[in-house]
């Protein structure tokens, strides 16, 4: 059984992403190593580590949160949605882009 898409218009999103392609994902969470480990684990549950092409971290002005950017090679919409679903399950995630 197919899961319902997390996007309102998945066909339009897929056309815009021009898959396969490297997609930038951004997530904001607390600035602690436990969160980063959970975030990386969630991403690796959806794609292989070799598909992660770049990681960038940027702390908030107060240092309380970190914005994590992952540039990930995705072959299809299923991988894109799997990443968002896996990270969305992390209760500490404050923002997903």
Q: Note down pLDDT in tens along the chain; length 97 residues.
A: 446 777 777 778 778 888 999 999 999 999 999 999 999 999 999 999 999 999 999 999 999 999 999 999 999 999 999 999 999 999 999 988 7
Q: The domain at 18-96 falls in which architecture?
A: 2-Layer Sandwich (3.30)
How many other C-beta atoms lie within 10 A of the C-beta of residue 97? 9
Helix (H, G, I), strand (E, B) or coil at 96: strand
Nearest CA to 30 out of 65, 59, 61 is that of 65
Instruction: Decide if 47 contacts 83 (C-beta within 8 A).
Output: yes
pTM of the complete model: 0.86
Q: What residue ranges do the domains of the chain occupy?
A: 18-96
Residue 83: partners with Cβ closer than 8 Å, 6 or more residues away:
25, 42, 43, 46, 47, 72, 74
């Amino acid at each position: 059984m197919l899961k319902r898409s997390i996007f309102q218009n998945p066909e339009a999103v897929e056309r815009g992403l021009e898959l396969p392609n490297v997609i930038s994902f951004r997530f904001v969470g607390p600035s602690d190593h436990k969160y980063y480990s959970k975030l990386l684990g969630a991403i690796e549950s959806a794609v292989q580590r070799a598909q992660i092409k770049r990681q960038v971290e940027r702390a908030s002005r107060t240092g309380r949160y970190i914005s994590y950017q992952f540039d990930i090679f995705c072959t299809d919409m299923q991988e894109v949605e799997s990443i968002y679903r896996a990270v969305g399950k992390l209760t500490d995630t404050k923002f997903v882009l």
